Amino acid sequence: MSGITLKNLNKTYPNGFLSVKNVSLSIEDGEFVTFHGPSGCGKSTILRMIGGLEEITSGEIYLGDVLLNEVLPRDRRLSMAFQNYALYPGLNVYENIGLGLTLRDFPRNIIDSRVQSAAEFLQIPDILNKKIRSITEAQKQKTALARAIVCHPKVFLVDEDFSKGNARRRAEMLRDVLRINQELKLTTLYITNDYQEAINLKKKIIFMKDGEIIPAEEYEV
């Protein structure tokens, strides 16, 4: 099973700042959950701890019944969409999508078929041979999403800064992320500090303030 459970999760940065305070929650297998709160409330820190990019100060993170605390990031079966796509400009679209499989020494025929089906899912099979520097921003966004699904993760983590483009591109990204959740059945954790966006998604919202989860009725817009 691919639900995520956080138990008494805490994060204190080396400078002593307590960024995440005793967060506990359960996210079900296949669920789409939106984390919302003002900038600095600890949303990204939680996502980075789940992804293994940030050390956990105390507490436990489970994927299904597997304790992730000591599992290396590359073995966690999670994929992350962060920071304005983070594609390699010198490689083509095919190579960018398939990079995670190439690094894990998958056979060429498996890489071919997985890259092809991820590209078809994101409606970009016709640009696989193009260099990143020659494609549009919208195509880069879809390439990054194809790369996120190609390793067949169980959980998909999407941070705020993944798509900071114009409103149209962000809406397109949200449509693709929702399709990934619904059609590929990936448990999805989505971060936004845009209240209206969180509401419009019509999914479960975790409201945060000052490093803590707070009840929806206590949240002040």
Kindly list the residues in this chain that would bind ligand ATP in the complex (CB under 6 A).
Answer: 13, 15, 17, 19, 37, 39-45, 160, 193
The DSSP symbol for 218 reads G
**Is 11 exposed, middle or buried, given 0-12, 13-18 or 19+ CB atoms closer than 10 A?**
buried
Cβ 200 to ligand ATP shortest distance, Å: 18
Cβ 41 to ligand ATP shortest distance, Å: 4
Q: In angstroms, how far apart are the furthest CA atoms of the chain?
A: 53
Nearest residue to ligand ATP on Cβ basis? 44
Cβ 34 to ligand ATP shortest distance, Å: 13
Of the candidates 164, 208, 183, which has an alpha carbon nearest to the alpha carbon of residue 32? 183
With respect to ligand ATP, which residue has the nearer C-beta, 17 or 70? 17
With respect to ligand ATP, which residue has the nearer C-beta, 43 or 154? 43
Q: Which two tokens stand for residue 100?
A: 């995670």
With respect to ligand ATP, which residue has the nearer C-beta, 36 or 140? 36
Q: Which two tokens stand for residue 16?
A: 């002593």
With respect to ligand ATP, which residue has the nearer C-beta, 13 or 88? 13
β strands within the chain, DSSP E = 4-12, 18-27, 32-36, 58-63, 66-67, 78-81, 155-158, 187-192, 204-209, 212-214
**Is 10 exposed, middle or buried, given 0-12, 13-18 or 19+ CB atoms closer than 10 A?**
middle
Cβ 213 to ligand ATP shortest distance, Å: 12
Cβ 123 to ligand ATP shortest distance, Å: 29
Instruction: List the Cα angle 167/86/184 in 5-degree steps.
Output: 70
Cβ 205 to ligand ATP shortest distance, Å: 14
With respect to ligand ATP, which residue has the nearer C-beta, 146 or 157? 157
With respect to ligand ATP, which residue has the nearer C-beta, 109 or 167? 167
